[in-house]
Chains A and B, each alone.
Chain A
Amino acid sequence: MTPLLQAWRPAVFRALCMLGAMPGISHALTETEPLPMVYEAAPEPAERPNSTPAPALRVTSGCTLYLPRIDDTRLNKANVGNLTLMLPTLHATPVKVQSIRAGGDPVEWTRSALQYASRYGLQVVSAVPPSTGATRQATAEVALRLAHSWSSGLNLVSHVVLQASFRMPGTEAVVRQYHGMGTRANWANGNGEFMSVLNLGMEEAVRGLVVDVAALCDGKPLPARAPAP
């Protein structure tokens, strides 16, 4: 090896180490800007690229979901995610953490997502039902229990949990939880990417709720709570 090359090696190695550690590369998140918490529907799962064929969700016509109340019951309302850098080693610990703040109104975010359930053929009304005894309708008080997104390897992941308390005529309210996981490739740690993965999780949770509302409209009982696998 020539002396010149030998002299450059440590410098090049240090530069590459610094390059790898540069926050600008690994952390493009704009932490001073909270996520807008605006719901934008993604294409239906069956219409997305990389998707396996899946039957589209369709609710038979005339089914109405009344939403008299939507609450935000998350334990931590200020944040909706974190970007954590961990090295892929056995003794990995968080080397760097950035938290993602929520802006906007998470209740309105939830309401918008529920309103988008109209694309499945469901009528959604943000109000108390005019009559509780009518057929082909369901009434649910919905709570946003969890909305969190995080970086995982080269992906972003989200977990959204909605809790619906269904009012049934003549019986006690029946409570069900709906979990949605969103995953997507993480290209730039961008705020928009975090919002997008949260929307995917929310959409999945709403789909679960719609399935149960459709059952109620058809006069079927709600399925039992999911057993542990």
Chain B
Amino acid sequence: MLRFWLALAALSLLGACAPFHRPLAAADRNKVGEVDLRVVVAQESFMFSAQAPGVSAATGGGLIGALIDSSVQQSRQKDMSAEVQAIVGPLLDYDYRAEAARALEAQLGEPSTFPLKIRSAQLLPAMPAKAEHEARIAATKNGPSYMVLLLQYALEPGLGAFTTRTSALLWQDGRSEPTYRAAAIFQTPVGGVARATVLRRLTADDGQVLRGMMRESMTQTLHAVALDLAGARSGPVKTARFNVNGSWVTLAGQSFDERPGHVLFRDQDGALYSVRSAAP
């Protein structure tokens, strides 16, 4: 139980610290120069049992849910395996990295789509080791700037929506602290009710729908980050239906772009949302 309270205290304090979003200052934007972009996708498949974020510990999800998981872990193992086999098994052949890499190449092939001059862009299957990462940041003192997107993707419980959650970080001038930092969340409803129907729809025609959603998530994430980097101003308040841990809630925030079929807004902490309004 001590482990739980320590973690809860640490996470609560972290949550109370400075907001994650740090806009790129005009002075820094003028000095960015060329950028090496790395998109890190460290997961290998849909992480089925991961506790979806967004449910606070106080409401009984998140950490408490994890503790409950911990206490019954052995008895749940078999049930989880059966469910994973039925849900994730059919999706195992679809490689998020391959689709995201295609979208990355296509998006950055058009120089006007990104406000920074990208010297190189790569999709990495793993986070570089700490020493390598720090050396890369130090090298920005006399070299190109360094931008990392840490991306996690998920099908929400119940398969109602596909979500990616990305942290964007930019280092420049040899400074150890990022000069730009943002959270970008993309979500598209999947459509359908019964799991079997949803899976059939996702994987039909060699996974055309699923692959399309994967590519779109990368494109829309880059688009949202690009607008934020460019200092896109906040407009009127927009609302969107958003799937959190299998439940639909209504989120509201100030819009920062108009795009057909999508609602793009910032929440009060500056997190960027790009939410598709209907299933593809």
Query: What is the CA–CA distance of A54 and B31 in the complex, to the nearest angstrom?
Result: 64
Q: Which residues of A in the span 69-117 have a Cβ within 8 Å of any Cβ on B?
A: 74-76, 78-79, 82, 84, 86-99, 101
Q: Which residues of A in the span 127-166 have a Cβ within 8 Å of any Cβ on B?
A: 145-146, 148, 150, 152-155, 157, 159, 161
A 45-61 to B, binary, CB cutoff 8 A, 1 in contact else 0: 10011111010000000
A169 to chain B, nearest CB (A): 27
Q: Which residues of B in the span 32-67 have a Cβ within 8 Å of any Cβ on A?
A: 40, 42-45, 47-51, 53-57, 62-63, 65-67
Interface size bucket, A side? 35 or more
B181 to chain A, nearest CB (A): 10
In the complex, which residue of chain A has the Cβ closest to the Cβ of B197? A228
A28 to chain B, nearest CB (A): 13
B31 to chain A, nearest CB (A): 26
Query: What is the CA–CA distance of A96 and B40 in the complex, to the nearest angstrom?
Result: 11
Across-interface contacts of B152 in A (CB, < 8 A): 84, 86, 93-94
Whether B69 sits at the interface, judged by CB under 8 Å, is: yes
Q: Are A226 and B89 in contact (CB under 8 A)?
A: yes
Query: What is the CA–CA distance of A161 and B48 in the complex, to the nearest angstrom?
Result: 13
Whether B120 sits at the interface, judged by CB under 8 Å, is: no
Q: Are B17 and A50 in contact (CB under 8 A)?
A: no
In the complex, which residue of chain B has the Cβ closest to the Cβ of A205? B81
Across-interface contacts of B73 in A (CB, < 8 A): 50, 155, 183-185
Q: Which of A20, A88, A187 has a CB less than 8 Å from the CB of B57?
A: A88
Q: Which of A21, A79, A145, A226 has a CB less than 8 Å from the CB of B92?
A: A145
Across-interface contacts of B135 in A (CB, < 8 A): none
Whether B167 sits at the interface, judged by CB under 8 Å, is: yes
B126 to chain A, nearest CB (A): 3
Q: Which of A25, A98, A185, A226 has a CB less than 8 Å from the CB of B82?
A: A226
Whether A16 sits at the interface, judged by CB under 8 Å, is: yes
B16 to chain A, nearest CB (A): 7
Query: What is the CA–CA distance of A88 and B63 in the complex, to the nearest angstrom?
Result: 8
Q: Which of A49, A90, A181, A208 has a CB less than 8 Å from the CB of B48?
A: A181
Whether B72 sits at the interface, judged by CB under 8 Å, is: yes
B 126-148 to A, binary, CB cutoff 8 A, 1 in contact else 0: 11011100000000000000000
Total B residues in contact with A, Cβ cutoff 8 Å: 81
Knowing A17-B16, A50-B72, A204-B78 are in contact, say whether A152-B84 is a contact too (CB < 8 A): no
Query: For chain A, what secondary structure do more than half of its interface residues adopt (helix, strand, loop), or is it mixed?
Result: mixed
Knowing A88-B62, A88-B63, A154-B3 are in contact, say whether A98-B196 is a contact too (CB < 8 A): no
Query: What is the CA–CA distance of A91 and B273 in the complex, to the nearest angstrom?
Result: 9
Q: Which of A21, A50, A184 has a CB less than 8 Å from the CB of B14?
A: A21
Which of B4-12, B109-117, B227-235, B254-262 lies on the face that meets chain A?
B4-12
Q: Are A228 and B90 in contact (CB under 8 A)?
A: yes
Q: Are A97 and B127 in contact (CB under 8 A)?
A: yes
Q: Are A97 and B49 in contact (CB under 8 A)?
A: no
Query: What is the CA–CA distance of A135 and B150 in the complex, to the nearest angstrom?
Result: 53
A204 to chain B, nearest CB (A): 5
Query: What is the CA–CA distance of A227 and B200 in the complex, to the nearest angstrom?
Result: 11
Knowing A52-B75, A75-B95, A76-B125 are in contact, say whether A88-B44 is a contact too (CB < 8 A): no
Across-interface contacts of A229 in B (CB, < 8 A): 83, 86-87, 195-196
A210 to chain B, nearest CB (A): 13
Knowing A17-B13, A93-B183, A159-B88 are in contact, say whether A50-B45 is a contact too (CB < 8 A): no
Query: What is the CA–CA distance of A153 and B195 in the complex, to the nearest angstrom?
Result: 26
Whether B30 sits at the interface, judged by CB under 8 Å, is: no
Q: Which of B9, B15, B66, B76 has a CB less than 8 Å from the CB of A87?
A: B15
Across-interface contacts of B50 in A (CB, < 8 A): 150, 152, 157
A37 to chain B, nearest CB (A): 15
Q: Are B14 and A20 in contact (CB under 8 A)?
A: yes
Sort A-B residue pairs by CB-CB distance and give the 3 closest, nearest first: A153-B66, A99-B126, A92-B53
Given contacts A95-B167, A148-B45, A228-B200, 9 further A-B contacts (CB under 8 A): A48-B74, A50-B75, A86-B165, A92-B183, A93-B185, A95-B20, A99-B42, A159-B48, A161-B89
Cβ contacts A to B, 24 pairs, < 8 Å: A16-B13, A21-B14, A31-B129, A45-B77, A50-B73, A88-B11, A88-B15, A88-B53, A88-B54, A91-B183, A93-B271, A94-B167, A97-B150, A148-B43, A150-B47, A154-B66, A155-B69, A157-B50, A159-B44, A181-B49, A183-B76, A183-B80, A227-B86, A229-B87
A contact residues vs B (CB 8 Å cutoff): 16-17, 19-21, 25-26, 31-32, 45, 48-52, 54, 74-76, 78-79, 82, 84, 86-99, 101, 145-146, 148, 150, 152-155, 157, 159, 161, 177-185, 187, 200, 204-205, 208, 226-229
